Amino acid sequence: MPLLDIKPDSLAFSLAGAAQAVAYVLEGTALPQALSKVFVQTDAQPQARGAIQDISYRTMRQVGKVDALLKAMTNKTPEPALLYGLLCCALTLLVRNEGEEAPYEDFVVVDQAVNAASSNSHMVFAKGMVNAVLRRYLREKDELLKLVSKQPAAVWNYPQWWVDQTKAAWPQDWQTILKAGNVAPPMTLRVNQRQTNPQAYLALLAEHGIAASQIGPVAIKLKKPMPVQLIPGFEDGMVSVQDAAAQL
């Protein structure tokens, strides 16, 4: 993953890492293994790892929709896979689900996606395309979202064959099953005891109106998953994202 010049604490760095993870998934690697590979390649620190993981999982839960959006705006699938992954990740951050808080300002996403493309020798040729596609989405998002809303793969974020097989196997429950598969999993944080302790951090979360509970010696489970940059103290290294299974 040849990065030319990019700050490791920037959204551009996280987008580039998530794009590579998505590209690995498209090549047949499971997302957890893809992320592990990216973390090693980029030497990502805990905060960057959390952001890369967050964007990657968000993208895979929206991949049907963002793929349909890309097809509506481009003549062919962007290549290489890394570029396709970057566009998918950036679009995921721009698409707003009902009631969802925007993880980043739109202009920040566009700017940082262009920076991510510019910083990578495999994508620098397409930085203008990245800018054009993302800005077109922002200009025409109502029409584009209406267009893709007619496509089952975009609505359910599964391939058409998967939707068809689920319908056939569970004709009464297929919608519930497909919806459940796209629900964000529980979000568990690991408290950095060099900076704080679980009780103090829970109090900090409460001050920000964030419901959470302690489920392990240094493990905090958020009641509702959220973008990592909205988690108090995350960018300062107070906490990192780590699965509960790894902490218990």
Per-residue pLDDT reduced to its tens digit, 25-82:
999 999 999 999 999 999 888 778 888 988 999 899 889 999 999 999 998 888 999 9
- Alpha-carbon gap, residue 186 to 143, rounded angstroms: 33
CB 26 within 8 A of CB 81: yes
- Give this prediction's pTM: 0.79
Going by their DSSP bridges, the two strands 239-241 and 212-214 should be labelled as unpaired
What integer is the mean pLDDT of 112-118? Answer: 95
Residues of the chain with CATH 1.10.940.10: 11-150
CB 95 within 8 A of CB 72: no
Q: Which two tokens stand for residue 230?
A: 């909205």
CATH H-level, domain 11-150: superfamily: NusB-like (1.10.940.10)
CATH H-level, domain 187-246: superfamily: Sun protein; domain 3 (3.30.70.1170)
Question: How confident is the model over 204-229, as pLDDT tens digits?
Answer: 999 888 888 998 898 989 888 887 87
Beta strands in 114-248 (DSSP E): 187-191, 212-214, 219-222, 239-241
Within 8 A by CB and 6+ apart from 167, the residues are: 174
* pLDDT at site 235: 80
55 three-state secondary structure: helix
CB 201 within 8 A of CB 220: yes
- Alpha-carbon gap, residue 154 to 145, rounded angstroms: 9
**Tell me, what amino acid is at 75?**
N
CB 84 within 8 A of CB 70: yes
- Alpha-carbon gap, residue 224 to 247, rounded angstroms: 19
Question: How confident is the model over 74-108, as pLDDT tens digits?
Answer: 988 889 999 999 999 999 999 987 666 777 889 99
CB 220 within 8 A of CB 188: yes
